[in-house]
Amino acid sequence: MSTARPWPDDDVSRVPYRVYTDPDIHAREQERIFRGPTWNFLCLEAEIPNPGDYRTSVIGDAPIVVVRGRDGGIAALVNRCAHKGALVCYKPRGNVSEFTCVYHNWTYDLDGRLTGVAFRRGVRGEGGMEEGFEPGAHGLRRLRTRTRNGLVFATFSDEAPDLETYIGRDMLSALDRVFVKPVRVLGYHSQVLPNNWKLYAENTKDSYHATLLHVFHNTFGIVRFTMGGGIRLSENGWHHLSFTERSADGSEREGAEAVRSLKEQYALEDPSLMEHRLELGDRITNSIQTIFPTLVVQQILNALAVRQLVPRGPGECELRWTVLGFEDDDESLEALRLKVNNLVGPAGYVSMEDGCIGGFIDTATRSAPEERSFMRMGGTAIEPAGASRVTEAAVRGFWRAWRDCMAL
Amino acid sequence: MTGAGEAPAARIARLNTAYAHAIDDDRLEDWPGFFTDDGLYRIVTRENREAGLPLAIVHCDGAAMMRDRVRAMRTANIFEPHTYCHTLGAAEIAEGEDGIHTARTNFTVVRTMHSGAMSIFACGRYLDRIVEADGALRFAERIVVCDSRTVDTLLVVPL
């Protein structure tokens, strides 16, 4: 690192711009965050329903393969052959009875144990692997793996607490709220963003920007009968939940009529995409939940998704959306979800700006590594907030988590 | 414009060209007019389509939703200014029942940013159902299948 202390004090409301661009910090994040004591979202159980089903994923820069075993259990393995380090699974998904590295045909079972080495005994007495070779010492690295509500998480770390403790009681109940029954994948989005991953991570925790950067609702005079809401944080500040909910006084109506325009000239011609069917047993219309470091769980009306943020070097990241419905959705509910999803994703009416705003910061801060942001909405505290959600507390919580891991 | 006497292939080629040039010339207010009132416009990825997954990046069920898309882009959404240049392949056409034509046309869209940076933003195929309405050809359905699973930064201008 070019300075001994990139962050000269303990203030998490003022972030030195260096942390978004410095390659040494990026490398340290891989070691201390992604291969450190964090639980990382990998995929959904619903994507690998049958024994032998696998899909690839990542934790930071590390390639991972998640596989359903013969006993129905799930293993997360580092996708790197113990021989020469090649990818063992080079296709994104599939079904296998064992893993075979294409380079020299080393084979592994679904738990990652090495089961075969081509020409181990040589050919007609010539060549072959050295004496004393122990296959048991050359498996694919198997990570601690845990599922919750069909979400698969893994950690490289033996020191990370169990997943439930890591997420914390309040945040767990928020997570349980969305996954009330088996989900079905409706499809995937991917966005490559021209900025450091942390800028997007901050943005998802920044409820202050929601109505200011994303002016779709205001422009079209859409009144949302969302009277309540707030920000919740895990005890350590690492994870957050931001939500809005309808009033319970009966003034709201179901469906598209619940939305109207104050300015007729700017009204949506077809407001059906704002229709909302309450389906999660409460009156919450929007909820965004983050689990440090890179998971976002989203409910925007009936648009449900998990987003996995993937760093790609200091200056770029990929946002992978898995868009969900429930297994028991009927045709009309699925049609509604497809329509409501116009609000989110790479072309989302209230999310597309999140694709470019990080790049605007990246362009403007590259020349000023020693300067710092100023995020004092709500002061310097990391604490819950009420319905206005005009606070940067959850963003400060992100930096608390980051500094706890990074020891910087 | 000539109409009924002209060969369908020539008319569809003209429709494709006019559609692409309307977008490339930033005449987006004309874009919904290329569709029937209840026309369907979807941008999907090849990955989702081949997996049988229904999600779209943009899903406009009717010209009213398309007009909303254009007005949101003009008045609400924020993005770095950029332009598209479409390059189209020749349409492969089949005539179905009731005068409905189905067509597949490959496209490439180069995006040029205000900074001057150029990139291939999208490449793929249009899968169309084309009908005769009021003496002109219109899209009853245009499914834009993008070969890449990834969108660079954001998508706001229709493809």
* Confidence category of residue A218, pLDDT binned at 50, 70, 90: confident
Closest chain B residue to the Cα of A324, Cα to Cα: B55
Q: Does the pLDDT value for residue A353 go beyond 70?
A: yes
Taking contacts as CB-CB distances below 8 angstroms, the residues of chain B near A187 are 44-45, 48, 51, 53-56
User: Is B70 a member of any domain?
Assistant: yes
With residues binned 3-state (H G I as helix, E B as strand, rest as coil), the percentages for chain A, rounded to 5, are 25, 25, 45
- Half-sphere exposure of residue A299, counting CA atoms within 13 Å on the CB side? 28
CA distance A309 to A317: 7
Chain A residues whose CB is inside 8 A of the B75 CB are: 219, 266
Nearest neighbour of A349 by CB, restricted to B44, B64, B72: B72
Residue-level pLDDT at A224:
63
Whole-angstrom distance, CA of residue A281 vs CA of residue A258: 18
The residue with greater pLDDT, A332 or A207, is A332
* Phi, psi dihedral angles at A359 (to 5 degrees): -65, -35
The pTM assigned to this predicted structure is 0.95
| pLDDT band (50, 70, 90) for residue A210 | confident
Residue A404 is given by DSSP the state H
B149 touches chain A (CB under 8 A): yes
Task: Say if B129 falls within a structural domain.
Answer: yes
Measure CB to CB from residue A356 to each of B53, B80, B150 and give the nearest one.
B80
Please determine, for residue A138, whether its predicted confidence score (pLDDT) is greater than 60. yes
Point out the least confidently predicted range of A88-92, A125-129, B96-100, B126-130: B96-100
Does residue A241 contact residue A232 with C-beta atoms inside 8 Å?
Answer: yes
Look at residue A183 and give its three-state secondary structure.
strand
Interface test with B, best of A214, A349, A351, A361 (most B CBs within 10 A): A349
Look at chain B and report how many structural domains it folds into.
1
Mutation site, A93, A191, A199, interface B, largest B CB count within 10 A: A191
More confident residue, B1 or B76: B76
Closest CA to A194 of A313, A75, A305, A103: A313
Q: Which residues of A touch B72 (CB under 8 A)?
A: 216, 219-220, 349
Tell me which chain A residues have a C-beta less than 8 angstroms from the C-beta of B109: none
Q: Tell me what the mean pLDDT of segment B140-154 comes to.
A: 98
DSSP string, A219-230: HTTBPP-EEEEE
> Is the residue at B130 inside a domain?
yes
Average pLDDT for B26-42: 98
All residues of chain B having their beta carbon less than 8 Å from the beta carbon of residue A215 are 76, 78
The residue among A307, A353, A361, A363 with the most chain B CBs within 10 A of its CB, best to mutate, is A353
Does residue B151 sit within a domain?
A: no
Would you call B53 and A273 a contact, using CB atoms and an 8 Å cutoff? no
Structure tokens at A148: 């919750």
Task: Say yes or no: B104 contacts chain A, CB-CB below 8 A.
Answer: no
Check CB contact under 8 Å for A219 and B75: yes
Check residue A265 and give its pLDDT.
57
- Would you call B153 and A213 a contact, using CB atoms and an 8 Å cutoff? no
The mean pLDDT of A24-50, rounded to a whole number, is: 98
Q: ipTM beyond 0.90?
A: yes
Mean pLDDT over the full length of chain B = 95
* Strand duo B58-61 + B35-45: pairing: antiparallel
CB contact under 8 A, A187 and B67: no
Range of the domain at B140: 8-146
Q: How many CB pairs under 8 A join A and B?
A: 111
Q: What is the mean pLDDT of chain A?
A: 92
Q: Is B132 part of any domain?
A: yes
Using an 8 Å CB-CB cutoff, list residues of chain A that contact chain B: 185-194, 213, 215-216, 218-220, 266, 268-270, 273, 318, 323, 334, 338-339, 341-342, 345-347, 349, 352-353, 355-356, 359
Q: How far, in Å, CA of A219 to CA of A138, rounded? A: 60
Per-residue model confidence (pLDDT) at position A222: 77
CATH of the domain at B22: 3.10.450.50
**CA-based nearest residue in chain B for residue A303:** B55
- Domain contains B126: yes
Model confidence at A252, pLDDT cuts 50, 70, 90, reads very low
Give me the mean pLDDT over the A384-405 stretch.
93
Q: Which of A218, A318, A323 sits opposite B55 (nearest CB)?
A: A323
State yes or no: pLDDT of A254 exceeds 70: no
**Would residue B58 count as lying in a domain?**
yes
3-state helix, strand, coil in chain B (%, to 5): 30, 45, 30
To the nearest whole percent, how much of chain A has pLDDT over 90? 85
Burial of B121-149, coded b for 16+ CB within 10 Å and e otherwise, reads bbebbbbbbbbbeeeebbbbbbbbbbebe
B96 inside domain: yes
What mean pLDDT do residues A337-359 have? 96
Residue A223: what pLDDT? 66
